[in-house]
Structure 1
Amino acid sequence: MGWADVFTRILGSDLSVEIRAFDGSRSGARDADVRLEIRSPLALSHLAAAPGELGLARAYASGAIEVHGDMYTALASFPAVALGDIPPELRRELAIKLAGYRLWWPVKTPAVEHKPKRVWRRHSKSRDSEVISYHYDVSNRFYEYVLGDSMAYTCAVFPSADATLEQAQFEKHDLVARKLDLREGQRLLDVGCGWGGMVMHAAEHYGVRALGVTLSRQQAQWAQKAIAERGLADLAEVRHMDYRDVAETGFDAVSSIGLTEHIGLKQLPSYFSSLADKLVPGGRLLNHCITRPDGTHGSRPGKFIGRYVFPDGELEPVGTLVSAMNDNGFEVRHEENLREHYALTLAGWCANLDRNWDVAVAEGGLDRARVWRLYMAACRLGFERNVVQLHQVLGTKLDGTDAKMPLRPSW
């Protein structure tokens, strides 16, 4: 029995993709548009060393497994298979075969896998700075190839299904601005500001004095340059710093777009209370982040995402976030789920990476480009299948008992 046949026995005989293995075996849908190639015994060694998604990810990142054709189509073709679903006879057979490959084909962990430099306390300032740098301080140019002109690395809001990614990112920033009721002369704090998209949008289109903070030095440098080039230096600023170290207070609004995923469950009370302390009475917070669909899932991501994409990331159900906001300085006034929009956003990023593949590889390295190709396609599928969601939650810091909100939403 060839190794292609083994994979077919695990995944099912009705696969819509073709599987080819280094031993010459073939299975699945012959001559399909998408093909999984097991290029080397090293792929099996990775599976032996780390059974499951981590071993598969390592094998793909290192090039021992290749996906020919569209990655999203390939992932969508494979059913979710747990070890318990594999018949006992096949499990025993695989264990024996894989043990031999691990012995004769030892593997090294791909260089792009995150390895903490020191054992810092989870979500301490030092550790947060390290893991944010790992993901975001890759190369601004690499992110330009993936994200496009908007340089926004968070869920866009599509006004229509045929809107471009840039139009949808503009709509996202504008929706946040409208929910916050931004007006000329006000002050905005954008925590976890990325490359400054929200900061520049608020300054340019609403006349707001906006301060953004990010733990990524490369993001801050890119944003400050973009602010100067757009003539917004009198209104906008991005600093390389932890949101916990912002000394200023008296902001009219706070936006947090894609930061809460990095905060951690235990830190949510201090996170929301610190943001409330930054606001004037009646000020608003818009919290935009990825969430779990319900409370039955753990906070920690899978091993692939945790090792290769967002170390120390934690996702909570929206109810947990709403309760934390309510208990720590905010009255929640509105929330909405935008998970379908994130699937569309990721489809746009995947298309950008595929279109710019050669230059993205030259800029960020082949291993990293392969990781991004895999994780973005997998995340697109996750949002489509309701494995994860994206919620915007709007809260206000009461001025006595006055929420300073209209009777009906004005945005």
Structure 2
Amino acid sequence: MSQTTTATPLVAQAVQAVLEEPLPFRITAYDGTDIGPRDSDIAVRVESEEGLRYLLSAPGDLGLARAYLTGTLTGTGFHPGDPYEVFSRIKRDVRTKQLTPKGVASALAPVVKQLGPKAFVHPPLPEVENEPRWKRHLAKVNPVRRAADSIKHHYDVSNAFYEKVLGDSMAYTCAVFDTPDDTLEEAQERKFALVADKLDLQPGQRLLDVGCGWGGMTMHAARERGVHVIGVTLSKEQAEWGQRAVREAGLESLVEIRHGDYREVTETGFDAVSSIGLTEHIGVKNYANYFSFLHSKLRDGGRLLNHCITRRDDTASAKPEPFTDRYVFPDGELASPGRLISECHDAGFEVQHDENLRLSYALTLRDWCRNLEANWDFCVAEAGLPTAKVWGIYMAGSRLGFEEGWLHLHQVLATKTTDNGDNGGYPLGSHWAP
């Protein structure tokens, strides 16, 4: 009597070809796949053959994101506004087989054979996906226009959306936590105060805040330190929001927020320059011009505080992973803190202090995800489901990056020291609270 054998479903074949068991969560699929612990609190489901093709045509984060954003990959046990837990298990607990690219292709050959030529042709891309970097760089667009387009893609989503995600501070940069139980608002105010302290801002001084966002640092410096501030942002929506906030706070006599490129600032002789979250958009090859420009804006002895995300080291490319480049920060790049400090020195600065705040950024992202989850329906209605999902992926994934140490956040404090060594009276010891 013959015995009937049941073929292993395609999704199960693909998973078992490249991943080691046990799996950290359950995986089911349209074709009957059901592998991993049945009692897992998290389950992932491939809803259709189209979802499988997304995964095969772009293995890794990009394929996962495409399937998730199109609804052909779904999951239970986590909220789309904060998928941190499932990301954590993928990055920390999923074990891939030690295969070369050729070995992966060989392992997946049976799946490819059954799907046919369409296996490695991705289905239609999500509307919110940007063109690949190489194609964007073929376009004949001047650098200022390209920078404006990149900033618009990320920051001109919706001020109302950001109000819900970022909270009252409207600060889209790393806060400074003393304890994990600090509120986000306390931590953001502490960040602004730390920047002001490091710059030693005094009443009547002039501050240039490049990449000023919605104006948080500009208003803090004016309100708390009595400083005259020019803030500049390439985002039209940020500028309009910040200008209105300045008027409502009664700070028009001290604060001017401009919509434009920081390179369009003609004034010089500033006592201090703050750059909080701008350097990530500059491009590593432009660091020399960037730091030289900021150097030219300061008086002798003036100070620069540069606050930005960095890579752990320069062993990998400065370019972001495909998901980040196509969905979050087009043309963004990250270098190591060593490269950052070296370029700063080469532009004529003397670096006085460097501080890594990476764990504070992990906590900042934790709280942004909590805000997105708590205001999910509003954010989806305001920006659309795909965009809300992208921000959940980006922030939860970045949180994991800072926790694991793939990403760092460095505040670099430097002075415009003269040729005869005058650094503006920089003290022998740190003059701000540790």
Contact preservation (8 Å) 2:372, 2:392 = yes
Instruction: Specify which of 71, 74, 78 is matched with residue 66 of structure 1.
Output: 74
Deviation sequence 1:189-213 (CA, Å, 0-9, x none): 1111111111111111111111110
Instruction: Specify which of 7, 12, 29 is matched with residue 5 of structure 1.
Output: 12
Shift of 1:345: 0.9
Larger Rg: 2
Task: Summarize the Cα distance change of 1:159–1:374 in structure 2 as closer, same or farther, 3 Å threshold.
Answer: same
Contact preservation (8 Å) 1:208, 1:235 = yes
Which residues of structure 1 form unaligned runs of 5+?
none
Cα distance in structure 2, aligned partners of 1:256 and 1:367: 30
Which residue number in structure 2 is paired with residue 405 of structure 1? 426
Aligned to 2:100, what secondary structure does the other structure show?
Answer: helix
Instruction: Specify which of 13, 17, 28 is matched with residue 25 of structure 2.
Output: 17
Note if 1:226 corresponds to 2:245. yes
Which residues of structure 2 form unaligned runs of 5+?
1-7
Task: Summarize the Cα distance change of 1:253–1:193 in structure 2 as closer, same or farther, 3 Å threshold.
Answer: same
Which residue number in structure 1 is paired with residue 300 of structure 2? 281
Instruction: Specify which of 140, 159, 170 is matched with residue 159 of structure 2.
Output: 140
Cα distance in structure 2, aligned partners of 1:381 and 1:238: 34
Note if 1:377 corresponds to 2:396. yes
Cα distance in structure 2, aligned partners of 1:354 and 1:363: 14
Shift of 1:122: 7.9
Amino acid of the residue matched to residue 191 of structure 1? V
Task: Summarize the Cα distance change of 1:98–1:361 in structure 2 as closer, same or farther, 3 Å threshold.
Answer: farther
Contact preservation (8 Å) 2:14, 2:111 = no
Aligned to 1:270, what secondary structure does the other structure show?
Answer: helix
Aligned to 1:284, what secondary structure does the other structure show?
Answer: strand
Task: Note the aligned Cα RMSD (angstroms).
Answer: 2.1
Deviation sequence 1:120-158 (CA, Å, 0-9, x none): 468810101111101111111111121111111111110
Contact preservation (8 Å) 2:58, 2:122 = no
Which residue number in structure 2 is paired with residue 95 of structure 1? 112
Note if 1:199 corresponds to 2:218. yes
Contact preservation (8 Å) 1:123, 1:312 = no
Cα distance in structure 2, aligned partners of 1:77 and 1:118: 35
Deviation sequence 1:188-246 (CA, Å, 0-9, x none): 11111111111111111111111110111001011111111111111112111000000
Shift of 1:102: 4.2
Deviation sequence 1:280-323 (CA, Å, 0-9, x none): 11110000111111120111001110100001011011111111
Contact preservation (8 Å) 1:133, 1:216 = yes
Q: Percent identity?
A: 51
Shift of 1:48: 3.4
Cα distance in structure 2, aligned partners of 1:379 and 1:166: 20
Task: Give the total of aligned pairs.
Answer: 410
Which residue number in structure 2 is paired with residue 37 of structure 1? 45
Amino acid of the residue matched to residue 68 of structure 1? T
Shift of 1:51: 2.9
Aligned to 1:58, what secondary structure does the other structure show?
Answer: helix
Shift of 1:20: 1.6
Aligned to 1:107, what secondary structure does the other structure show?
Answer: coil
Question: TM-score normalised to the size of structure 1?
Answer: 0.94
Shift of 1:54: 1.6
Contact preservation (8 Å) 1:4, 1:27 = no
Task: Summarize the Cα distance change of 1:87–1:275 in structure 2 as closer, same or farther, 3 Å threshold.
Answer: closer
Contact preservation (8 Å) 2:243, 2:257 = yes
Contact preservation (8 Å) 1:335, 1:391 = yes
Cα distance in structure 2, aligned partners of 1:144 and 1:83: 45
Deviation sequence 1:5-46 (CA, Å, 0-9, x none): 336423332223221212232211213222212122211122
